Amino acid sequence: MGLLDKVDNLDEAQPAKAKPKAAKAVSKAKPKAAKAVAKATPKEKKAKPSRAEKAVKSRDKPEKIRPSGLPEGYELAGKMPRYIGWLINFGWNFGVAIGLLSIISTGADSDLTLGWIASLLMITLNWLVLPIWTGRNIGEFVSRTKYINSSGKKPISIHAILNNSIGFLSLIGLILIMANFQNISTTGLPWFITGVVFILFWIVNFFFKKNSDFSQGTIDLLFSAYLVKHVATGEETGWLARFESLGDFGDKWQQNSQKRQEKAAAKAKARAKVKSKESESSNEESED
C-alpha cells in the first residue's frame, strides 16, 4: 500500500508541475504578440492643425493694430488758423527777402549783405531749427496749431522739413521759369522743366488739401499727419514759453476777424431787410 500511494502521489504531482510551464509559455507569448501587434499597427502621427484651426488661433491672439485716422481728443484746425499760420510763415520767410529785392529794383547802390544774412537766418530758423526742436514753426505757434500723427504724437522731423519745403520749392520753381524762359531752345530747357515740376507739385499739394476730408496735403498723407488745435500745458519755460506766447497775437487776430464777419453779416441782413421793404412798397404801388 505504501508503494501504491507513492505512485499515485507521483502521478498527481506531474500535472501540477506542468501547469506553471504552460503559464510561463502563455506569459511569454503575450509580450511577443503585443510586440507583433505594435509592429503591425503603424505609429499614429500627430495631426497637423488645419487652416481653419490656425485661423481660430490667430484670432485668439491679440494683434498689434496700427491706429489710423484722427486720434480721439483732438480737433482739426479751422480755416482761419490755417490762413494765419500760412500768412505768418510767408511774411517771416520771405518778408526781408522781398524788401531787399524791392531795394535792388530801385537801382539803389547799397551793401545788403547783412540783410541777406538776416533773411537766411530767419528762413533756417523757421525751416529747420524750430521744426526739429519743437515740431512746429512760427506760423503754427502764432495760430496755436500743431501736427500730430495717428498715434497722437509729434511726427518725425522729416515731415516738418518736407512740409515747409513745398513753399520754397514753388518759389524756386517760379524763379527758374522766369530766368530760363528765353533760353528754352538752348541750355535753359532742363532748368525750365525743373521749375515747372516744382510749381506742379505745389498745385497738386494744394488740391489734395482742398479735397481731403482732414485737409491733408501729399506730405501729410504720406506720414499720416493731421494739423490740429494746440493747447499749451502752461509748464513751458524759457524760449519755448516765449514762442507759446505768440499765440496771444493769433487769438486777438481771430477775435477781430470774427467781429468783422459778424458786422458784415449784420450789415448784409439790414440791406436785405431794406430791399425787401422797398420791393413790398413797389408792389403795393403797382397794385394801386
Write out the residue range of the structural domain in which residue 191 sits.
Answer: 79-245
Tell me how far apart the alpha carbons of residues 244 and 238 are, in angstroms, rounded to a whole number.
Answer: 10
In a domain, residue 14? The reply is: no
Sign of CA dihedral 132, 133, 138, 140: positive
Q: Is residue 216 part of a domain?
A: yes
- What pTM does this model have? 0.67
From residue 24, alpha-carbon distances to 15, 33, 36, 127 in Å are 15, 14, 18, 98
57 within some domain: no
Distance of alpha carbon 133 from alpha carbon 240, whole angstroms: 10
**30 in a structural domain:** no
In angstroms, rounded to a whole number, what is the distance separating the alpha carbons of residues 82 and 214?
Answer: 13
Is residue 228 within 8 Å of residue 75, measured between CB atoms? Answer: yes
Cα separation, 85 vs 257, in Å, equals 14
Q: Does a structural domain hold residue 12?
A: no
| Of the candidates 204, 217, 199, 203, the residue with the CA atom closest to the CA atom of residue 82 | 217
Separation between Cα atoms, residue 251 and residue 258, nearest integer Å: 11
How many Å apart are CA 141 and CA 153, to the nearest integer?
A: 17
User: What per-residue confidence (pLDDT) applies to 287?
Assistant: 67
Q: Round to whole Å and give the CA distance between 156 and 135.
A: 8
**Cell digits for 65?**
493694430
Which pairing describes strands 145-149 and 225-229: parallel, antiparallel, or unpaired?
Answer: antiparallel
Does residue 283 lie within any of the structural domains? Answer: no
- Domain total for the chain? 1
pLDDT of the chain along its 288 residues, tens only? 444 444 444 455 454 444 444 444 444 444 544 444 445 454 555 555 566 565 555 555 544 444 567 888 899 999 999 999 999 999 999 899 888 888 888 877 778 889 999 999 999 999 999 999 888 999 999 999 999 998 889 999 899 999 989 988 988 898 889 888 888 888 888 899 999 999 999 999 999 998 988 999 999 999 999 999 998 887 778 888 888 888 888 888 888 888 888 888 888 888 888 888 777 777 776 766
